[in-house]
């Protein structure tokens, strides 16, 4: 009941919450993409829980599904969330999920209002940061730094997305890496590494519609204001999680894909 109350209270907003990751193995080149799970009606938002499992939000079924990151074995964690009214409309009302301690929070991006809201543990809501025409789509917190993925304004038919940082104390915004087509999420990896998820190119003019199939990319922030490519050919990815040196990509179509060995030592140091 306690969880249910918080899920409902937080479902109308977007909050900045990031969960720490555990370290596992090192490696050289990234592995080929492989499928972990395909049982969601749709995927929008995910996190790593306090138990080290993946928690993926299914906005069509109104559920949060727990998926074992090693075996792909899945179970329903919560089934009390509001369901998305327009099932395949990728961003409007697109929910995310996060944990604060052992409590789950369901989050909704209000991308077209271009702002990031913070939900207090008491359910209070405050505006953390307002933006111009950039459409914040994903975020991660690392220490006092908040990383935001921005879908970006449409230029020549495609969103020109980027990753920015916000200092949580001063509110100062700085560019981290640009540009990539329709950025939808950002996650820190091992060490100083930082990764972004680009949904891909966009032949439909409506900025609320998903990217073209199989044009998504997993990108690594290169430390020089740009990105390097880790994996391509992702089908409309919506959110990214990283556990150790492995990336988990949730797609709009409800699948979870895995890329192992996304970075090599010295991990951005
Ligand atoms: Ca994420």
> What HEC string does the chain produce?
CHHHHHHHHHCCCCCCCCCCCCCCCCCCCCCCCEEEECCCCCCCCEEECCCCCEEEEECCCCEEEEECCCCCCEEEEECCCCCCCCCCCCCCCCEEEEEECCEEEEEECCHHHCEEEEECCCCCEEEEEECCCCCEEEEEEECCEEEEEECCCEECCEECEEEEEEECCCCCEEEEEEEECCEEEEEECCCCCEEEEECCCCCCCCCCCCCCCCCEEEEEECCCCCEEEEEEEECCEEEEEEECCEEEEEECCCCEEEECCCCCCCCCC
CA of 187 to the centre of ligand 1 (A): 6
pLDDT of res. 21:
31
CA of 4 to the centre of ligand 1 (A): 22
pLDDT of res. 148:
85
CA of 139 to the centre of ligand 1 (A): 7
CA of 86 to the centre of ligand 1 (A): 22
Domains and CATH numbers, the chain: 2-259 (2.120.10.30)
Q: 112 φ, ψ to 5°?
A: -80, -5
pLDDT of res. 45:
81
pLDDT of res. 220:
97
pLDDT of res. 144:
77
CA of 200 to the centre of ligand 1 (A): 17
CA of 47 to the centre of ligand 1 (A): 6
CA of 85 to the centre of ligand 1 (A): 23
CA of 242 to the centre of ligand 1 (A): 8
Q: Tens digit of pLDDT per residue, the chain (269 long)? A: 344 444 433 333 333 333 223 333 344 789 999 999 999 988 878 889 888 999 988 878 878 899 999 999 999 987 766 666 554 444 444 456 666 666 656 555 555 556 666 655 565 566 667 776 667 778 787 877 888 888 877 776 667 899 999 887 787 889 999 999 989 899 999 999 999 999 998 777 666 678 899 999 999 999 999 999 999 999 999 999 999 999 999 999 999 999 999 999 999 86
CA distance 186 to 202: 20
CA of 199 to the centre of ligand 1 (A): 13
CA of 204 to the centre of ligand 1 (A): 25
pLDDT of res. 128:
67
CA of 92 to the centre of ligand 1 (A): 17
Q: Taking the complete model, does pTM exceed 0.85, yes or no?
A: no
CA of 49 to the centre of ligand 1 (A): 12
């Amino acid at each position: 009941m306690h969880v249910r109350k918080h899920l409902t209270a937080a479902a109308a907003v977007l909050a900045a919450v990031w969960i720490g990751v555990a370290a596992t193995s090192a490696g050289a080149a990234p592995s080929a993409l492989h499928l972990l799970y395909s049982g969601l009606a749709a995927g929008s938002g995910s996190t790593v829980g306090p138990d080290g499992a993946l928690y993926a939000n299914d906005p069509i079924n109104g559920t949060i599904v727990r998926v074992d990151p090693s075996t792909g074995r899945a179970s329903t964690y919560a089934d009390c969330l509001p369901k998305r009214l327009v099932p395949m409309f990728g961003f409007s009302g697109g929910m995310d999920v996060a944990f604060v301690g052992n409590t789950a929070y369901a989050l909704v991006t209000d991308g077209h209002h271009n702002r990031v809201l913070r939900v207090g543990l008491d359910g209070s809501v405050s505006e953390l940061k307002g933006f111009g025409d950039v459409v914040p789509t994903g975020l991660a917190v690392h220490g006092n730094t908040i990383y935001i993925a921005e879908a970006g304004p449409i230029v020549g038919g495609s969103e020109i997305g980027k990753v920015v940082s916000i200092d949580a104390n001063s509110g100062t915004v700085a560019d981290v890496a640009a540009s990539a087509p329709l950025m939808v999420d950002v996650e820190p990896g091992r060490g100083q590494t930082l990764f972004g998820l680009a949904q891909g190119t966009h032949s439909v003019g409506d900025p609320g519609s998903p990217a073209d199939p199989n044009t998504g990319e997993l990108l690594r922030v290169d430390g020089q204001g740009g990105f390097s490519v880790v994996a391509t050919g992702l089908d409309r990815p919506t959110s990214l999680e990283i556990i150790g040196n492995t990336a988990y990509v949730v797609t709009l179509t409800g699948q979870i894909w895995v890329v192992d060995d996304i970075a090599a030592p010295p991990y951005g140091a």
